[in-house]
Amino acid sequence: MNKRLIYSIIAIILVFGVYGYEYFLNQKEQSEIEEEGSLVKKQTNEYFLPTSTTGQIVHHEGYSLSYNEPYEQAEWVAYELKKSQLSISNFTRPYFEVDKAVQSGSADWRNYKNSGYDRGHLCPAGDRNYSELAYGETFLTSNISPQEHDFNAGIWNALEQKTRYWAVKYNGVFVVTGGVLHENLKTIGSEHVAVPNQFYKIILDNNKGNIKMIAFLVPHENSSKPLNTFVVTVDEVEKLTGIDFFPELDDAVENKLEASSNYKNWDFN
């Protein structure tokens, strides 16, 4: 065997060795990310987490989510919004990235390209201005859903701003939000990301142990109607989604609050 052939064989072995080692490192990194995503973070109040219809719950520093693979988006995103977390920052807006903590793989941002829909945040970037890490996490694709621009920038933005108002007024609230996912929805992109016809947002105030909650069900279209027009019972949203939103609450308290659409205890001024 001549030297040239020996060197060629050695070179091939080295190349395969390098690629094999890189593959091992990538798999190890992916495994660590998924494992980290399964752990409840400090900013997540586990007591108020909804049930998951998919069993795929992921925890980030600033929010938790339940990913629904057939629809390529979260069925809910949940987080606590404290008064102290609301601030103005100059963080650089990052690019959208796939959420590596989602074991089934979250949808690629390219599904939204030229689709005519915004990459609509479920946990708004404006709610996570207290740290660059938490802010950046909101640009993971597991936290977005296709939204018409006029809806995203209109009535949905108004509801997000009202939620921040209540977080200040009531010294913190807990938020659960998502699109209503069901069969035969329109889809976009090669991964068939579902476009919800309705979005919901449920807000719970547990200030000083005096619990109250309010739920909104908003058609996926812009509207100039007052926000209280979209108030529904939590029971109604649960029936549409199959999600139990506050299973850890005392049953008597949960049943009473979730059956009510009374919004008189919420300041709409």
pLDDT for res 6:
67
Q: Maximum Cα–Cα distance for the chain, whole Å?
A: 89
pLDDT for res 192:
97
Please state, in angstroms and rounded to a whole number, the distance separating the CA atoms of residues 3 and 8.
Answer: 9
Residues 198, 178 contacting (CB under 8 angstroms): no
**HEC string for 141-174:** HHHEEEECHHHHHCHHHHHHHHHHHHHHHCCCEE
Please state, in angstroms and rounded to a whole number, the distance separating the CA atoms of residues 198 and 75.
Answer: 12
pLDDT for res 13:
72
pLDDT for res 87:
80
Please state, in angstroms and rounded to a whole number, the distance separating the CA atoms of residues 62 and 133.
Answer: 8
Residues 143, 137 contacting (CB under 8 angstroms): yes
Residues of the chain with pLDDT under 70: 1-11, 14-47, 208-209
pTM of the model: 0.84
pLDDT for res 9:
67
pLDDT for res 32:
44
The pair of structure tokens assigned to 197 is 């016809």
Q: What DSSP letter does each residue of the chain carry, written as one string?
A: --HHHHHHHHHHHHHHHHHHHHHHHHHHHHHHHHHHHTSPPTT--GGGPPP-SSS-EEE-SS-EEEEEGGGTEEEEEEEEE-GGG-----PPPPPPB--TT-TT-PPPGGGGTTSS-EEEESS-GGG-TT-HHHHHHTTBGGGEEEE-HHHHHTHHHHHHHHHHHHHHHTT-EEEEEEE---TT-EEETTTTEEE-SEEEEEEEE-GGG--EEEEEEEESS---S-GGGGEE-HHHHHHHH---S-TTS-HHHHHHHHT----TTS---
pLDDT for res 224:
94
